[in-house]
Amino acid sequence: MSGFLLSIDQGTTGSTALLLSPAGQILGRANREFPQHFPRPGWVEHDLEEIWQSVGAAAAEAVERAGVAPTDCLGIGITNQRETTVLWDRNTGAAVHNAIVWQDRRTADRCQELKDAGKEEMFRQRTGLVLDPYLAGTKLEWLLEHVDGARARAEKGELAFGTIDSWLVYRLSGGKAHVTDASNASRTLLYDIAKGHWDEELAAELHVPMALLPEVRSCSEVYAHTSGVPGVPDGVPIAGMAGDQQAALFGQTCFGVGDAKCTYGTGAFLLMNTGTDLVHSKHGLLTTIAWRLGDETVYALEGSAFIAGAAVQWLRDGLGLISSSDEIEAKAREVDATGDVVFVPALAGLGAPYWDPHARGLIYGLTRDTTAAHLARATLEGIAFQIVDLVDAMQADADRPIKRLRVDGGATRNDLLMQFEADMLGVKIDRPENVETTALGAAYLAGMAVGVFDGLSSIVDAYRIERSFDPQVTQPERDGHLRRWRDAVRLARSEMGIK
Protein backbone atom coordinates (compact mmCIF):
# COMPACT_ATOMS: atom_id res chain seq x y z
CA MET A 1 0.00 0.00 0.00
CA SER A 2 1.29 3.47 -0.88
CA GLY A 3 0.45 6.81 0.73
CA PHE A 4 0.89 8.05 4.27
CA LEU A 5 -0.89 8.64 7.55
CA LEU A 6 -0.86 12.15 9.05
CA SER A 7 -0.64 12.33 12.83
CA ILE A 8 -1.44 15.65 14.48
CA ASP A 9 0.06 15.86 17.97
CA GLN A 10 -1.35 19.07 19.42
CA GLY A 11 0.69 19.70 22.57
CA THR A 12 0.92 22.31 25.28
CA THR A 13 3.73 24.38 23.79
CA GLY A 14 3.63 23.36 20.14
CA SER A 15 1.96 21.31 17.44
CA THR A 16 3.74 18.40 15.75
CA ALA A 17 2.83 16.78 12.46
CA LEU A 18 4.24 13.33 11.75
CA LEU A 19 3.88 11.37 8.51
CA LEU A 20 3.95 7.58 8.77
CA SER A 21 4.19 5.12 5.91
CA PRO A 22 2.05 1.95 5.79
CA ALA A 23 5.29 0.08 6.62
CA GLY A 24 5.63 2.05 9.84
CA GLN A 25 8.46 4.33 8.67
CA ILE A 26 8.51 8.02 9.58
CA LEU A 27 8.51 9.96 6.32
CA GLY A 28 8.51 13.49 7.70
CA ARG A 29 8.06 15.52 10.86
CA ALA A 30 7.67 19.17 11.74
CA ASN A 31 6.89 21.14 14.88
CA ARG A 32 5.62 24.68 15.36
CA GLU A 33 5.56 26.37 18.75
CA PHE A 34 2.86 28.88 19.67
CA PRO A 35 2.60 31.52 22.42
CA GLN A 36 1.55 30.84 25.99
CA HIS A 37 -0.69 33.44 27.62
CA PHE A 38 -0.60 34.15 31.37
CA PRO A 39 -3.29 36.76 32.11
CA ARG A 40 -2.91 36.36 35.90
CA PRO A 41 -0.68 34.38 38.26
CA GLY A 42 -1.74 30.73 38.06
CA TRP A 43 -3.75 31.27 34.86
CA VAL A 44 -2.62 29.71 31.57
CA GLU A 45 -4.46 30.21 28.27
CA HIS A 46 -4.05 29.46 24.57
CA ASP A 47 -5.35 31.38 21.58
CA LEU A 48 -7.18 28.81 19.44
CA GLU A 49 -6.36 30.56 16.19
CA GLU A 50 -2.67 30.44 17.07
CA ILE A 51 -3.04 26.70 17.66
CA TRP A 52 -4.86 26.25 14.35
CA GLN A 53 -2.13 28.13 12.50
CA SER A 54 0.56 26.03 14.17
CA VAL A 55 -1.20 22.80 13.17
CA GLY A 56 -1.53 23.90 9.56
CA ALA A 57 2.06 25.11 9.33
CA ALA A 58 3.46 21.93 10.91
CA ALA A 59 1.44 19.69 8.56
CA ALA A 60 2.47 21.65 5.48
CA GLU A 61 6.15 21.56 6.49
CA ALA A 62 6.07 17.82 7.23
CA VAL A 63 4.51 17.08 3.83
CA GLU A 64 7.10 19.26 2.11
CA ARG A 65 9.99 17.58 3.94
CA ALA A 66 8.67 14.13 3.09
CA GLY A 67 8.30 15.00 -0.59
CA VAL A 68 4.83 13.52 -0.78
CA ALA A 69 1.60 14.81 -2.26
CA PRO A 70 -1.20 15.88 0.09
CA THR A 71 -3.58 13.78 -2.01
CA ASP A 72 -1.73 10.64 -0.88
CA CYS A 73 -2.95 11.05 2.73
CA LEU A 74 -4.75 7.86 3.77
CA GLY A 75 -6.08 9.13 7.07
CA ILE A 76 -5.55 11.54 9.94
CA GLY A 77 -4.97 10.69 13.59
CA ILE A 78 -5.24 13.27 16.37
CA THR A 79 -3.71 13.34 19.83
CA ASN A 80 -3.86 16.30 22.14
CA GLN A 81 -3.19 18.06 25.42
CA ARG A 82 -6.13 16.54 27.17
CA GLU A 83 -7.83 18.68 29.82
CA THR A 84 -7.37 22.00 27.98
CA THR A 85 -10.90 23.33 27.61
CA VAL A 86 -12.54 25.01 24.63
CA LEU A 87 -15.96 26.61 24.23
CA TRP A 88 -16.90 27.69 20.72
CA ASP A 89 -19.69 28.94 18.48
CA ARG A 90 -21.33 26.03 16.63
CA ASN A 91 -21.99 28.12 13.53
CA THR A 92 -18.65 29.90 13.09
CA GLY A 93 -16.25 27.61 14.94
CA ALA A 94 -14.81 30.66 16.73
CA ALA A 95 -13.86 30.27 20.38
CA VAL A 96 -15.81 32.51 22.74
CA HIS A 97 -12.75 32.78 25.00
CA ASN A 98 -9.16 31.62 24.97
CA ALA A 99 -8.74 27.93 25.74
CA ILE A 100 -8.06 27.32 29.45
CA VAL A 101 -4.98 25.10 29.65
CA TRP A 102 -4.69 21.99 31.81
CA GLN A 103 -1.98 23.73 33.89
CA ASP A 104 -4.36 26.54 34.83
CA ARG A 105 -5.22 26.77 38.55
CA ARG A 106 -8.04 29.35 38.55
CA THR A 107 -10.68 26.89 39.74
CA ALA A 108 -8.75 25.67 42.82
CA ASP A 109 -11.22 27.36 45.18
CA ARG A 110 -14.19 25.85 43.34
CA CYS A 111 -12.65 22.38 43.64
CA GLN A 112 -12.17 22.91 47.34
CA GLU A 113 -15.78 24.06 47.66
CA LEU A 114 -16.95 20.82 46.06
CA LYS A 115 -14.71 18.80 48.37
CA ASP A 116 -16.05 20.64 51.41
CA ALA A 117 -19.57 19.81 50.24
CA GLY A 118 -18.67 16.11 50.28
CA LYS A 119 -18.79 15.64 46.51
CA GLU A 120 -15.32 14.25 45.82
CA GLU A 121 -16.12 10.59 46.41
CA MET A 122 -19.03 10.70 43.96
CA PHE A 123 -16.80 12.23 41.29
CA ARG A 124 -14.00 9.76 42.03
CA GLN A 125 -16.22 6.68 41.87
CA ARG A 126 -17.86 7.64 38.58
CA THR A 127 -15.00 9.34 36.74
CA GLY A 128 -11.89 7.85 38.35
CA LEU A 129 -10.65 11.41 38.93
CA VAL A 130 -9.98 13.70 41.85
CA LEU A 131 -11.44 17.17 42.21
CA ASP A 132 -8.54 19.26 40.94
CA PRO A 133 -8.40 22.37 38.73
CA TYR A 134 -6.20 20.34 36.36
CA LEU A 135 -9.31 18.66 34.93
CA ALA A 136 -11.73 20.11 32.40
CA GLY A 137 -15.09 20.17 34.21
CA THR A 138 -14.55 23.15 36.50
CA LYS A 139 -12.80 25.03 33.69
CA LEU A 140 -15.95 24.67 31.57
CA GLU A 141 -18.10 25.81 34.48
CA TRP A 142 -15.84 28.88 34.87
CA LEU A 143 -16.26 29.78 31.18
CA LEU A 144 -20.03 29.50 31.39
CA GLU A 145 -20.08 31.77 34.43
CA HIS A 146 -17.52 34.38 33.38
CA VAL A 147 -17.95 34.84 29.61
CA ASP A 148 -20.76 37.32 28.94
CA GLY A 149 -23.83 35.55 27.61
CA ALA A 150 -22.14 32.13 27.45
CA ARG A 151 -24.58 30.30 29.71
CA ALA A 152 -27.66 31.61 27.92
CA ARG A 153 -26.15 30.76 24.53
CA ALA A 154 -25.16 27.30 25.76
CA GLU A 155 -28.69 26.58 26.95
CA LYS A 156 -30.00 27.62 23.52
CA GLY A 157 -27.65 25.13 21.83
CA GLU A 158 -25.52 27.80 20.17
CA LEU A 159 -22.23 26.77 21.77
CA ALA A 160 -20.17 23.58 21.83
CA PHE A 161 -17.66 22.30 24.38
CA GLY A 162 -14.71 20.07 23.78
CA THR A 163 -11.13 19.33 24.52
CA ILE A 164 -8.62 20.16 21.79
CA ASP A 165 -9.25 16.91 19.90
CA SER A 166 -12.93 17.72 19.59
CA TRP A 167 -12.28 21.25 18.39
CA LEU A 168 -9.74 20.05 15.80
CA VAL A 169 -12.16 17.51 14.34
CA TYR A 170 -14.79 20.25 14.16
CA ARG A 171 -12.41 22.54 12.24
CA LEU A 172 -11.00 19.82 10.00
CA SER A 173 -14.50 18.62 9.07
CA GLY A 174 -15.76 22.10 8.25
CA GLY A 175 -18.04 22.09 11.29
CA LYS A 176 -19.74 18.81 10.41
CA ALA A 177 -18.67 16.76 13.44
CA HIS A 178 -18.84 17.45 17.16
CA VAL A 179 -17.22 14.35 18.65
CA THR A 180 -14.61 13.23 21.11
CA ASP A 181 -13.17 9.84 22.01
CA ALA A 182 -13.54 7.87 25.22
CA SER A 183 -10.02 8.63 26.47
CA ASN A 184 -10.51 12.38 26.27
CA ALA A 185 -14.05 12.20 27.64
CA SER A 186 -12.64 10.45 30.69
CA ARG A 187 -10.64 13.60 31.58
CA THR A 188 -13.58 15.96 31.97
CA LEU A 189 -15.11 15.12 35.39
CA LEU A 190 -18.35 14.60 33.46
CA TYR A 191 -18.02 11.04 32.09
CA ASP A 192 -18.91 7.80 33.86
CA ILE A 193 -16.01 5.56 32.84
CA ALA A 194 -17.70 2.31 33.94
CA LYS A 195 -21.04 2.94 32.22
CA GLY A 196 -19.49 4.68 29.23
CA HIS A 197 -21.65 7.80 28.96
CA TRP A 198 -21.94 11.40 30.09
CA ASP A 199 -23.30 11.63 33.63
CA GLU A 200 -26.23 14.00 34.02
CA GLU A 201 -25.87 14.30 37.80
CA LEU A 202 -22.21 15.29 37.56
CA ALA A 203 -23.03 17.78 34.82
CA ALA A 204 -25.71 19.29 37.04
CA GLU A 205 -23.22 19.63 39.93
CA LEU A 206 -21.01 21.70 37.63
CA HIS A 207 -23.95 23.54 36.04
CA VAL A 208 -23.08 22.23 32.57
CA PRO A 209 -25.93 21.87 30.02
CA MET A 210 -25.85 18.43 28.42
CA ALA A 211 -26.41 19.98 24.99
CA LEU A 212 -22.84 21.33 25.11
CA LEU A 213 -21.22 17.91 25.19
CA PRO A 214 -19.80 16.09 22.14
CA GLU A 215 -20.72 12.58 21.02
CA VAL A 216 -18.28 10.06 22.51
CA ARG A 217 -16.77 7.56 20.05
CA SER A 218 -14.09 4.87 20.08
CA CYS A 219 -10.42 5.69 19.55
CA SER A 220 -10.15 4.09 16.12
CA GLU A 221 -12.93 4.72 13.61
CA VAL A 222 -13.81 7.22 10.91
CA TYR A 223 -15.36 10.23 12.66
CA ALA A 224 -15.63 12.58 9.68
CA HIS A 225 -13.81 13.65 6.51
CA THR A 226 -11.83 16.80 5.85
CA SER A 227 -13.69 19.68 4.29
CA GLY A 228 -12.48 23.13 3.31
CA VAL A 229 -9.08 22.94 5.04
CA PRO A 230 -6.32 24.91 3.27
CA GLY A 231 -3.59 22.61 1.97
CA VAL A 232 -5.55 19.43 2.75
CA PRO A 233 -7.72 17.72 0.12
CA ASP A 234 -11.37 17.24 0.93
CA GLY A 235 -12.51 13.76 1.84
CA VAL A 236 -9.53 12.53 3.90
CA PRO A 237 -10.86 10.35 6.74
CA ILE A 238 -10.26 11.61 10.28
CA ALA A 239 -9.92 8.18 11.81
CA GLY A 240 -7.97 7.98 15.08
CA MET A 241 -8.13 9.93 18.31
CA ALA A 242 -6.76 9.65 21.83
CA GLY A 243 -5.50 11.93 24.57
CA ASP A 244 -1.75 12.41 24.43
CA GLN A 245 -0.84 10.11 27.31
CA GLN A 246 -3.16 7.34 26.19
CA ALA A 247 -1.79 7.68 22.65
CA ALA A 248 1.74 7.33 24.04
CA LEU A 249 0.73 4.17 25.94
CA PHE A 250 -0.65 2.80 22.68
CA GLY A 251 2.38 3.93 20.68
CA GLN A 252 4.66 2.22 23.21
CA THR A 253 2.73 -1.01 22.49
CA CYS A 254 1.81 -1.36 26.17
CA PHE A 255 -0.98 -3.75 25.29
CA GLY A 256 -0.49 -6.20 28.20
CA VAL A 257 -1.83 -5.85 31.71
CA GLY A 258 0.92 -4.33 33.87
CA ASP A 259 2.78 -2.71 30.96
CA ALA A 260 3.78 0.85 31.90
CA LYS A 261 5.25 3.90 30.23
CA CYS A 262 6.23 7.40 31.27
CA THR A 263 6.12 10.36 28.92
CA TYR A 264 8.43 13.28 29.67
CA GLY A 265 7.06 16.38 28.01
CA THR A 266 5.92 19.70 29.45
CA GLY A 267 4.73 17.55 32.34
CA ALA A 268 5.48 13.89 33.02
CA PHE A 269 2.82 11.20 32.97
CA LEU A 270 3.05 7.59 34.10
CA LEU A 271 0.41 5.12 32.88
CA MET A 272 -0.06 1.42 33.55
CA ASN A 273 -2.40 -0.76 31.50
CA THR A 274 -4.89 -2.51 33.83
CA GLY A 275 -6.79 -4.21 31.02
CA THR A 276 -10.57 -4.37 31.19
CA ASP A 277 -10.43 -4.10 35.00
CA LEU A 278 -11.26 -0.67 36.37
CA VAL A 279 -8.86 -0.22 39.32
CA HIS A 280 -9.77 2.60 41.70
CA SER A 281 -6.71 4.19 43.25
CA LYS A 282 -6.18 4.36 47.00
CA HIS A 283 -2.85 6.16 46.71
CA GLY A 284 -3.62 9.42 44.95
CA LEU A 285 -3.58 8.29 41.32
CA LEU A 286 -6.24 8.63 38.64
CA THR A 287 -8.19 5.86 36.97
CA THR A 288 -8.70 6.60 33.32
CA ILE A 289 -9.77 5.06 30.03
CA ALA A 290 -6.66 4.04 28.09
CA TRP A 291 -8.53 3.41 24.85
CA ARG A 292 -11.69 1.95 23.41
CA LEU A 293 -11.44 -0.27 20.35
CA GLY A 294 -14.81 -1.38 19.08
CA ASP A 295 -16.88 -2.30 22.11
CA GLU A 296 -13.92 -3.10 24.37
CA THR A 297 -12.68 -0.51 26.86
CA VAL A 298 -9.17 -0.80 28.30
CA TYR A 299 -8.37 1.10 31.50
CA ALA A 300 -5.20 2.51 33.02
CA LEU A 301 -3.87 3.92 36.26
CA GLU A 302 -2.24 7.31 35.80
CA GLY A 303 0.07 9.54 37.78
CA SER A 304 0.62 13.12 36.67
CA ALA A 305 3.56 15.42 37.41
CA PHE A 306 2.55 18.84 36.13
CA ILE A 307 6.06 20.19 35.58
CA ALA A 308 8.83 18.24 33.84
CA GLY A 309 10.26 19.78 30.66
CA ALA A 310 8.58 23.03 31.73
CA ALA A 311 11.12 23.23 34.56
CA VAL A 312 13.93 23.26 32.01
CA GLN A 313 12.08 25.94 30.05
CA TRP A 314 11.88 27.96 33.27
CA LEU A 315 15.66 27.72 33.73
CA ARG A 316 15.98 28.99 30.15
CA ASP A 317 13.30 31.68 30.02
CA GLY A 318 12.83 32.63 33.67
CA LEU A 319 16.38 32.49 35.03
CA GLY A 320 18.47 32.65 31.85
CA LEU A 321 20.81 29.90 33.10
CA ILE A 322 20.81 28.22 29.68
CA SER A 323 20.05 29.63 26.23
CA SER A 324 18.32 26.51 24.89
CA SER A 325 16.73 23.47 26.52
CA ASP A 326 19.22 21.18 24.79
CA GLU A 327 22.02 22.68 26.89
CA ILE A 328 20.68 21.35 30.19
CA GLU A 329 22.50 18.01 30.11
CA ALA A 330 25.92 19.51 29.33
CA LYS A 331 25.44 22.14 32.04
CA ALA A 332 24.39 19.48 34.59
CA ARG A 333 27.42 17.31 33.72
CA GLU A 334 29.76 20.11 34.80
CA VAL A 335 29.31 18.77 38.34
CA ASP A 336 29.19 15.21 39.68
CA ALA A 337 26.35 15.88 42.12
CA THR A 338 23.96 18.63 43.17
CA GLY A 339 25.87 19.50 46.33
CA ASP A 340 22.74 18.44 48.25
CA VAL A 341 20.64 21.04 46.40
CA VAL A 342 17.10 19.76 45.81
CA PHE A 343 14.61 21.40 43.44
CA VAL A 344 10.91 20.63 43.90
CA PRO A 345 9.41 21.77 40.56
CA ALA A 346 5.96 22.60 41.95
CA LEU A 347 5.65 25.59 39.62
CA ALA A 348 1.97 24.78 39.03
CA GLY A 349 1.25 23.06 42.33
CA LEU A 350 1.84 19.34 42.85
CA GLY A 351 -0.07 16.65 40.99
CA ALA A 352 -0.24 13.00 41.97
CA PRO A 353 0.02 11.60 44.53
CA TYR A 354 -0.26 14.86 46.53
CA TRP A 355 -2.89 16.84 44.58
CA ASP A 356 -1.83 20.07 46.23
CA PRO A 357 -2.63 23.10 44.05
CA HIS A 358 -1.19 25.43 46.70
CA ALA A 359 2.31 23.91 46.83
CA ARG A 360 5.02 26.14 45.40
CA GLY A 361 8.34 25.46 43.74
CA LEU A 362 11.25 25.17 46.14
CA ILE A 363 15.04 25.15 45.77
CA TYR A 364 16.47 23.71 48.97
CA GLY A 365 20.07 23.43 50.19
CA LEU A 366 21.69 26.50 48.59
CA THR A 367 25.17 27.54 49.75
CA ARG A 368 27.82 29.98 48.54
CA ASP A 369 29.27 27.08 46.53
CA THR A 370 26.06 26.52 44.53
CA THR A 371 26.47 27.16 40.79
CA ALA A 372 24.24 27.15 37.74
CA ALA A 373 25.46 23.60 37.08
CA HIS A 374 24.19 22.46 40.48
CA LEU A 375 20.79 24.00 39.75
CA ALA A 376 20.70 22.37 36.32
CA ARG A 377 21.45 18.95 37.80
CA ALA A 378 18.95 19.47 40.62
CA THR A 379 16.29 20.33 38.03
CA LEU A 380 16.80 17.04 36.20
CA GLU A 381 16.80 15.14 39.47
CA GLY A 382 13.61 16.90 40.58
CA ILE A 383 11.88 15.67 37.43
CA ALA A 384 13.04 12.11 38.13
CA PHE A 385 12.07 12.16 41.81
CA GLN A 386 8.46 12.99 40.93
CA ILE A 387 8.27 9.79 38.88
CA VAL A 388 9.56 7.74 41.81
CA ASP A 389 6.62 8.99 43.89
CA LEU A 390 4.24 8.01 41.09
CA VAL A 391 5.75 4.54 40.65
CA ASP A 392 5.53 3.85 44.38
CA ALA A 393 1.84 4.77 44.40
CA MET A 394 1.11 2.81 41.22
CA GLN A 395 2.75 -0.39 42.44
CA ALA A 396 0.71 -0.18 45.64
CA ASP A 397 -2.57 0.34 43.74
CA ALA A 398 -1.94 -2.36 41.14
CA ASP A 399 -0.47 -4.78 43.70
CA ARG A 400 2.26 -5.65 41.21
CA PRO A 401 5.79 -4.34 40.61
CA ILE A 402 6.83 -2.36 37.56
CA LYS A 403 9.76 -4.49 36.40
CA ARG A 404 10.74 -2.27 33.48
CA LEU A 405 9.54 1.09 32.30
CA ARG A 406 9.20 2.33 28.75
CA VAL A 407 9.86 6.04 28.30
CA ASP A 408 9.18 8.59 25.59
CA GLY A 409 9.01 12.32 24.99
CA GLY A 410 11.68 14.86 24.12
CA ALA A 411 13.33 14.89 27.56
CA THR A 412 14.16 11.18 27.31
CA ARG A 413 16.96 12.05 24.89
CA ASN A 414 18.75 13.31 28.00
CA ASP A 415 20.92 10.35 29.03
CA LEU A 416 21.77 11.88 32.41
CA LEU A 417 18.09 12.18 33.32
CA MET A 418 17.29 8.64 32.17
CA GLN A 419 20.20 7.11 34.06
CA PHE A 420 19.28 8.95 37.25
CA GLU A 421 15.66 7.84 36.84
CA ALA A 422 16.74 4.20 36.52
CA ASP A 423 18.98 4.63 39.59
CA MET A 424 16.18 6.08 41.73
CA LEU A 425 13.54 3.60 40.56
CA GLY A 426 15.81 0.58 40.74
CA VAL A 427 14.36 -0.79 37.47
CA LYS A 428 15.47 -1.03 33.85
CA ILE A 429 14.32 1.79 31.58
CA ASP A 430 13.76 1.18 27.85
CA ARG A 431 13.96 4.07 25.38
CA PRO A 432 12.54 3.34 21.91
CA GLU A 433 14.12 4.31 18.61
CA ASN A 434 11.37 6.86 18.13
CA VAL A 435 10.64 8.80 21.32
CA GLU A 436 7.64 10.56 19.75
CA THR A 437 5.32 7.69 20.57
CA THR A 438 2.42 10.05 21.26
CA ALA A 439 2.21 10.92 17.58
CA LEU A 440 2.87 7.30 16.64
CA GLY A 441 -0.04 6.13 18.77
CA ALA A 442 -2.45 8.47 16.98
CA ALA A 443 -1.13 7.31 13.61
CA TYR A 444 -1.53 3.66 14.58
CA LEU A 445 -5.12 4.23 15.70
CA ALA A 446 -5.97 5.98 12.43
CA GLY A 447 -4.17 3.31 10.44
CA MET A 448 -6.18 0.54 12.06
CA ALA A 449 -9.42 2.33 11.19
CA VAL A 450 -8.57 2.74 7.49
CA GLY A 451 -7.03 -0.71 7.02
CA VAL A 452 -3.34 0.24 6.96
CA PHE A 453 -2.54 -1.85 10.06
CA ASP A 454 -4.01 -5.26 10.68
CA GLY A 455 -4.56 -5.30 14.43
CA LEU A 456 -2.22 -4.89 17.40
CA SER A 457 0.29 -7.58 16.39
CA SER A 458 1.41 -5.66 13.32
CA ILE A 459 2.15 -2.65 15.53
CA VAL A 460 4.11 -4.70 18.07
CA ASP A 461 6.33 -6.06 15.28
CA ALA A 462 7.42 -2.50 14.40
CA TYR A 463 8.52 -1.54 17.96
CA ARG A 464 12.27 -1.12 18.50
CA ILE A 465 14.29 -0.27 21.65
CA GLU A 466 17.20 2.11 21.05
CA ARG A 467 18.82 1.94 24.51
CA SER A 468 18.19 0.54 27.96
CA PHE A 469 19.36 2.07 31.25
CA ASP A 470 20.13 -0.24 34.17
CA PRO A 471 20.30 0.92 37.82
CA GLN A 472 23.87 1.65 38.94
CA VAL A 473 23.58 2.78 42.58
CA THR A 474 23.26 0.93 45.87
CA GLN A 475 20.09 0.91 47.94
CA PRO A 476 21.65 3.11 50.68
CA GLU A 477 22.60 5.71 48.06
CA ARG A 478 19.07 5.59 46.64
CA ASP A 479 17.54 5.93 50.11
CA GLY A 480 19.67 8.99 50.89
CA HIS A 481 18.58 10.78 47.72
CA LEU A 482 14.91 10.00 48.32
CA ARG A 483 15.05 11.09 51.95
CA ARG A 484 16.33 14.56 50.92
CA TRP A 485 13.68 14.76 48.22
CA ARG A 486 10.80 13.97 50.59
CA ASP A 487 12.09 16.45 53.15
CA ALA A 488 12.06 19.14 50.44
CA VAL A 489 8.53 18.20 49.31
CA ARG A 490 7.28 18.63 52.87
CA LEU A 491 8.80 22.12 52.92
CA ALA A 492 7.28 23.00 49.53
CA ARG A 493 3.86 22.16 50.93
CA SER A 494 4.28 23.51 54.46
CA GLU A 495 5.18 26.96 53.13
CA MET A 496 1.47 27.27 52.29
CA GLY A 497 0.40 26.01 55.70
CA ILE A 498 -0.09 22.40 54.59
CA LYS A 499 1.60 19.94 56.94
298: three-class secondary structure by DSSP: strand
The span from the first CA to the last CA of the chain, in angstroms, equals 60
| Of the candidates 51, 41, 54, the residue with the CA atom closest to the CA atom of residue 99 | 51
Is residue 499 pLDDT above 50, yes or no? no
The confidence score (pLDDT) of residue 392 equals 94
383: three-class secondary structure by DSSP: helix
CATH superfamily of domain region 4-245: ATPase, nucleotide binding domain (3.30.420.40)
The confidence score (pLDDT) of residue 460 equals 83
Is residue 498 pLDDT above 60, yes or no? no
Write the DSSP string, 9-21: EE-SSEEEEEEE-
Rounded to whole angstroms, how far apart are CA atoms 8 and 59? 8
Rounded to whole angstroms, how far apart are CA atoms 375 and 12? 25
Is residue 497 pLDDT above 70, yes or no? no
Write the DSSP string, 306-337: S-SHHHHHHIIIII-S-SSGGGHHHHHTTSSS
pLDDT digits (tens, 9 = 90+) for 452-476: 998 888 888 778 899 999 999 999 9
The confidence score (pLDDT) of residue 346 equals 93
Is residue 495 pLDDT above 70, yes or no? no
Is residue 319 pLDDT above 70, yes or no? yes
Q: Where are the domains of the chain?
A: 4-245
The confidence score (pLDDT) of residue 1 equals 65
Q: Can the peptide bond before residue 357 be classed as cis, meaning omega within 30 degrees of 0?
A: no
